[in-house]
Amino acid sequence: MITDFQGKTAVLTGAGSGFGLECARIGAGLGMNLVLVDVQQDALDKAQAELEATGAAVLARKVDVADAAQMEALAQAVKARFGAPHFVFNNAGVGSGGLIWENSVRDWEWVLGVNVWGVIHGVRLFTPMMLEAAAADPAYQGHIVNTASMAGLLTPPNMGVYNVSKHAVVSLSETLYQDLRLVTDQIGASVLCPYFVATGISQSHRNKPGDLAGEKPTPSQLIGQAMTEKATSAGKVTAAEVAQRVFQALRDDQFYIYSHPKALGNAQSRFDAIVAGTNPPDPFAERPEVGVGLRQALRAG
C-alpha cells in the first residue's frame, strides 16, 4: 500500500509504451521520481523527454530484463540515484503464439526470459532493498506489481508459451504476497491480469533478438498473431484506464488487478473443472465463433 506518492520513486519496466508508460505518466502527475526501463531505445528516449518535460526526475536505462547482470546494474543505479524505490512495476513482457509443440527452444527462451526471468530479477533485486528501507523507517511504504495476464488464469489454445509464462508470474506474485505478509506490514504486492488491451504487445516481434528475428513463423504462429492483433485492436479498455486501476490498487492494497472482470467467467469454469476433476472446459464457451474460426484456420493448413 502507498498512500502518499509525492517524492517517492517508481521503477517501471516496459516503460516505453503500454501500461508502463501510462503508469509513468500518472506517477509524474503525482510528483514521483521515475526510473524508466525498456529494451527499445527510441521508445525510451521519447518517454524520457515527455516525462522530464513535466518536471519529473527521471532515470532512463535501456535494459534487457532477462539479463541478470543488466538488471543488477540497474538496481545499483536506482539505489545510487534515488535510494530504495517505493513502487516497482515488473511489467516488461512479450507475446508469442502458435501450437505449443511448434515453438523453438529460442522462442521459449525469449518469452520466458522476458516474462518470467524479468519479474524474477525485479523481485529478487528490489525486494531486499525495500525491506531494508522499511526496517530503517517505520513510515516507509512500498508495493510491487507484476504484470501477468488473464492468460495466467486461463489456458487458451495456440498461445502455450505465453500461457506458461503468465501462469508463472501469477504463482510468483501470489507467493511474493504471502512471503511479504510473513515479514512486514509495510510492503504490499499485486498481480495485474489484463485481458485484450491495446499496448503494443501484439507487435512484440519488433524486439526479438537478432538470432530469433530471422526464424520463419509457422502457420499456427501467424494465425495466433493475427487473432491477437484483432482482439487487442478491438479492445474498448485503454492502457491508461488500466494504469489508473494499478494506482488504485496501490492505494487500496488490492492484490488482483483486472482490466476485464467479466472475463473471469472463463476462469471460474476452469477452476470448477479442477476442483471437480473433470476435463478442461471449452475456453471459447462464451464466444464459440472464435473457437470455430481458429479450428477451421488450423485444419485448413
Catalytic residues: 162
Grid cell listed for 123: 523481485
Cα 261 to Cα 175, 196, 203, 235: the distances in Å are 22, 12, 25, 14
Cα 52 to Cα 23, 29, 55, 205, 281: the distances in Å are 15, 11, 5, 29, 49
CA 96/CA 69 separation, integer angstroms: 25
Nearest CA to 270 among 287, 285, 248, 253? 285
Nearest CA to 198 among 166, 240, 160? 240
